[in-house]
A and B are shown apart, each in its own frame.
Chain A
Amino acid sequence: MAPVQKDVLAPGDSTVVELVFNTNSVARPPMNLNKHANIMSNDSTLAVVAINFEGKVVADTDTVSTMVFGPNILQFSPNDRKQEIIFENVKDSVSFNIKLVGYVMDDFAIKLPGKPIAPGKKGKIEVEWKGDLPEYDVGRSLTFKTGSKSSPQFSAAYSIKGAKGARPAPPKQMKPPQANNPPGISNRPPASKEAVKGAANSWPQGIPVKADSAKIENPLDQKQWPPK
């Protein structure tokens, strides 16, 4: 079997599409976000699948939500592998029972509070990065659920310093490949102002990169399917 490219899946293979949103583009929080991307494929029964990404970006001074947490971003490097998320159940009616949700793309050891966090109390989540030094900087987030109806989930952004710093922008002039595109998928770059980050994954010639983006990640270990 020929090697499977990241955007070409043999029967039974799986991959990951990652949506990334840079909250710095939110001018005046609080702001509800609703982003989506379309996965287009050569599946004749389901040529376009919309994936959605939503939530609320709040300011540091947020006093409306029933919880506060910080820091705004966890910054990891080989010399700084341990970080803490401090959160407070400010005024919720129930205790927070913190659990990690979603698939974590990087190698972390995460220690959650050992007991529910009652209204008015603070809690701590210890996050230790145990991975190898990435080639380029990584920026993602971890999402936790609280068990509360008022503030059911929150996400903590993190960055991991890479050996070569920020990923360089691909060349502006490029020519996508002419062959092997799914039916109905143009060779032209996306017309949207938002470009496809990491497009080198799908079009080796590259497409202008912006932080607000979607990208196809490396196929992960097939034994991980379905992801837990």
Chain B
Amino acid sequence: MKKLLIVIALVFMTPAFVLAGARIQVLERNWNFGLAHKGGPLSHPYWIKNIGDDTLRINVRPG
């Protein structure tokens, strides 16, 4: 019985543990623009979400 209670407690604690702190979710990390002509800009938006329970701070650096 005690083991069962421990297991149940762990199950309920797990989501809180997983979400603790800021957590970044990037929906799509790779984008292929296919063919493009020289002469103009190419762009793509990457969506980011904070799925954690604390403030997420981000900074972006071109590679």
How far, in Å, is A101 (CB) from chain B's closest CB? 9
Known: A8-B56, A55-B33. A192 touches B61 (CB 8 A): yes
Give chain A residues whose Cβ lies under 8 Å from the Cβ of B21. Answer: 42-44
How far, in Å, is A109 (CB) from chain B's closest CB? 19
Known: A9-B50, A11-B52, A18-B44. A151 touches B35 (CB 8 A): yes
Is A3 located at the chain interface by the 8 A CB criterion?
no
Give chain A residues whose Cβ lies under 8 Å from the Cβ of B59. Answer: 7, 39-41, 181-182, 185, 202
Is B14 located at the chain interface by the 8 A CB criterion?
no
Is B40 located at the chain interface by the 8 A CB criterion?
yes
Q: At the interface, is chain A mostly helix, strand, loop or mixed? A: strand
How far, in Å, is B10 (CB) from chain A's closest CB? 19
A20 touches B34 (CB 8 A): no
Known: A51-B29, A73-B39. A153 touches B22 (CB 8 A): no
Per-residue contact bits, chain B 32-63, to A (CB 8 Å; 1 contact, 0 not): 11111111111111111111111111111111
* Bound CA–CA A202/B62 (angstroms): 14
A35 touches B62 (CB 8 A): yes
Known: A11-B50, A55-B32, A192-B63. A19 touches B44 (CB 8 A): yes
Place the interface of chain B in its size category: 35 or more
A154 touches B35 (CB 8 A): yes
Give chain B residues whose Cβ lies under 8 Å from the Cβ of A217. Answer: 45
CB < 8 Å neighbour of B56 from A9, A57, A60: A9
A51 touches B61 (CB 8 A): no
Known: A55-B34, A153-B35. A23 touches B41 (CB 8 A): yes
Is A84 located at the chain interface by the 8 A CB criterion?
no
Is A54 located at the chain interface by the 8 A CB criterion?
yes
* Bound CA–CA A56/B38 (angstroms): 10
Place the interface of chain A in its size category: 35 or more
Known: A9-B50, A103-B47. A154 touches B34 (CB 8 A): yes
Is A215 located at the chain interface by the 8 A CB criterion?
yes
Give chain A residues whose Cβ lies under 8 Å from the Cβ of B33. Answer: 53-55, 141, 143, 153-155
* Bound CA–CA A6/B22 (angstroms): 15
Is B24 located at the chain interface by the 8 A CB criterion?
yes
Per-residue contact bits, chain A 57-98, to B (CB 8 Å; 1 contact, 0 not): 111101001010110110000000000000000000000000
Residues of A in contact with B (beta carbons under 8 Å apart): 7-24, 26, 29, 35-46, 49-60, 62, 65, 67, 69-70, 72-73, 102-103, 105, 139-141, 143, 145, 151-159, 180-182, 185, 190, 192, 194-196, 202, 211-217, 225-227
Q: List 6 A-B contacts (CB under 8 A).
A: A11-B52, A43-B21, A56-B34, A141-B43, A155-B42, A216-B58
Residues of B in contact with A (beta carbons under 8 Å apart): 21-24, 26-27, 29-63
